[in-house]
C-alpha cells in the first residue's frame, strides 16, 4: 500500500493499542483487529514524515560508509575483549555471550544478563562495536532507556547521539550482507 507515495505494510495482531514502527526503515502499522491505518496515520503524520526524512538522510549517508571485513574469530575476540573491559569499568557481571544473526538489533541483554550480539556487527568500525557493547551492558545497571540510562551512557560517550545515528546509517549498509 502507499501513503502519499510512501509504501507501508499493516500487521493486524491481538493487541490493545496501535503503533507505528520504522525499525528497519520500512513503515509498519501494527494494529488491533478492525483498526484502520488512516486513523493512526492521521494521529502520527508529522512524526512519520520526520522519521521518513531521517531514514532517507541515513540511506544517503550509508552509501559512503566502509564496511570492515573480519573473520569470525577476530570479531568474537574483539567482543570478548570489549566486554571484559566494560564489565571491569562498570563493576558488573554478565552470564553468557551469544552470537547470532538478528533482524532488528545490533545486540541485546536479557533479564538473565545474557548478552546476544548480532553477527553483522563484525562489519562495523571498532568504536561503534565498543559503543554497542557499552550501551547493552549499561542495561545491567538500568534496564530501561530512561533518563538515568542515558546519563550513564553520556558519562562515557558524550557523543552518543551521533553514534546512535551512525549506527542507523550502518544498518542500511549491512542490509546487503543480511541477505547472505
Per-residue pLDDT tens for 122-157?
999 999 999 999 999 999 999 999 999 999 999 999
Domain ranges of the chain: 2-62, 72-178
Q: Which class for 137: exposed (0-12), middle (13-18), buried (19 or more C-beta within 10 A)?
A: buried
Per-residue pLDDT tens for 44-88?
888 888 888 888 888 889 999 999 999 999 999 999 999 999 999
Does the structural domain 72-178 have CATH classification 3.30.2010.10?
yes
Cell 551492558 sits on residue = 137
Confidence (pLDDT) at 21: 85
pLDDT (average), residues 96-122: 96
Least confident piece of the model among 1-5, 18-22, 132-136, 165-169: 1-5
Task: Give CA–CA dist 127/170, Å, rounded.
Answer: 13
Amino acid at each position: 500500500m502507499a501513503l502519499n507515495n510512501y509504501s507501508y505494510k499493516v500487521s493486524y495482531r491481538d493487541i490493545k493499542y496501535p503503533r507505528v514502527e520504522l525499525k528497519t526503515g520500512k513503515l509498519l502499522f501494527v494494529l488491533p483487529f478492525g483498526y484502520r491505518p488512516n486513523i493512526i496515520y492521521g494521529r502520527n503524520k508529522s512524526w512519520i514524515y520526520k522519521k521518513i526524512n531521517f531514514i532517507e538522510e541515513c540511506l544517503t549517508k550509508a552509501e559512503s560508509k566502509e564496511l570492515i571485513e573480519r573473520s569470525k574469530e577476530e570479531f568474537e575476540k574483539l567482543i570478548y575483549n570489549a566486554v571484559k573491559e566494560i564489565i571491569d569499568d562498570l563493576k558488573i557481571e554478565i552470564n553468557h555471550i551469544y552470537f547470532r544473526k538478528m533482524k532488528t538489533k545490533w545486540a541485546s541483554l536479557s533479564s538473565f544478563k545474557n548478552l546476544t550480539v548480532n553477527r553483522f556487527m563484525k562489519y562495523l568500525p571498532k568504536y561503534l562495536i565498543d559503543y554497542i557493547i557499552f550501551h547493552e551492558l549499561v542495561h545491567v545497571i538500568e534496564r530501561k532507556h530512561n533518563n538515568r540510562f542515558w546519563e550513564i551512557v553520556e558519562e562515557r560517550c558524550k557523543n552518543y547521539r551521533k553514534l546512535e545515528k551512525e549506527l542507523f546509517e550502518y544498518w542500511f549498509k549491512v542490509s546487503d550482507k543480511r541477505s547472505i
